[in-house]
Structure 1
Amino acid sequence: METQVKNETLISREQLLAHWQGHRALTRRTIEAFPEKDLFSFSIGGMRTFAELAAELLAIAGPGVVGLATDEWKELDERDQAKGSKEKLLELWDKTTAQIDQYWERIPEGRFQEKLVAFGQYEDQGYCTLLYFIDNEIHHRGQGYVYLRALGIAPPAFWER
């Protein structure tokens, strides 16, 4: 029995970008909800601080979208992203958001279906790599929600993206 595969689009590029940017906006509000001191010092069970988790997200998102657009992948580097102040972290977050918007349209047609090696070490299809960026952010934001609740702070409503 032969099965014919119909080429249909489940979600457009624009919808996928809006979905990702919705998650980024929610993570930004999560960063904002932290008191400055706790953003850089509070953790539970030996996990990283939320500033360190946000630094990982910054190290992946901007360079990741550049890699998808250009197929030029820098080594993953989380250093110095979480140092400074909450204001600096939010500024870096906003610059990365703008970088995503800038490079999104440059991602070649078909790139999401290509096999690639992100950051010189993670081999997968482009769409899987992008979904990892988004899934990783959701995962770390969940950790931030646990931290906020432990601090007695209500996190942003997760459905408000």
Structure 2
Amino acid sequence: MSTKQFDRPLNHVITSSELLAHWQGHRSLTRRVIQAFPEKEFFNYSMGGMRSFAEMTLELLAIAGPGLKEIVTGETQALNEHIDPKNQKELVLNLWDQATEEINTYYNQITQDRFHETIKTFGQYEGTVISSIFYFIDNEIHHRGQGYVYLRNLGIEPPFFWER
């Protein structure tokens, strides 16, 4: 069997709008995980040498919106995770909502023919547009899983992962 038959454009498996809805479902769930944390623990709790969930969230904020903006505009920016949330979870949630809108804005500017184009994000990470988007999603899922472990260790029931 030839592998060529599996090398088809994105729209033969999932449409770009379905992928965006899938991603935004993950973002909605991650937002609920952020909300589940008590404010102090969001910024200060960690275990096993991992970062706080706030620090992980700031990484996610530094990647998704700015990464999509770079894909669309071609303007390279360095990865900047140094956002000062002033130890206010509400500020982080507002930044999360702004990033969600930024994702919607830029994602909808990516034409179908660009998804398999080779690019570099943040001036150093080479891949295709679609592999970069999958990385943005996978990285969020990875860190959200760490947040689930923290919440459970704190005795807090996290949101159901399937409710996206």
Band the TM-score falls in, shorter-chain normalisation: over 0.9
**Deviation (angstroms), 1:84:** 3.0
- 1:109-148, aligned counterparts within 5 Å? 109-148=112-151
CA deviation digits over 1:99-120, x for unaligned, max 9? 1111111113322101101100
1:81 is displaced (CA, Å) by 4.8
Structure 1 gap segments, 5+ residues each: none
| Residues 16 and 112 in structure 2, CA contact (< 8 A), matched pair in contact too | no
- Partner of 1:66: helix, strand, or coil? helix
Alignment check: 8 A CA contact 2:68 2:107 kept: yes
Q: Which amino acid aligns with 2:119?
A: L
Q: Which runs of 4+ in 1 moved over 4 A?
A: 1-4
Q: Which amino acid aligns with 2:23?
A: W
User: How high is the TM-score relative to the length of structure 2?
Assistant: 0.92
* 1:57-95, Cα deviation, whole Å (9 max, x unpaired): 000011011122222221100002544300000000000
Q: Which residue number in structure 1 is paired with residue 47 of structure 2?
A: 44
Letter in 2 for 1:151: L
Residue identity matched to 2:142: H
Mapped pair 1:77 → 2:80: yes
Q: Percent identity?
A: 56
TM-score (norm 1): 0.94
Is 1:102 the counterpart of 2:99? The answer is: no
CA RMSD of aligned residues (A): 1.7
Corresponding residue number in structure 1 for 2:20: 17
Give structure 2 stretches of 5+ with no counterpart: none
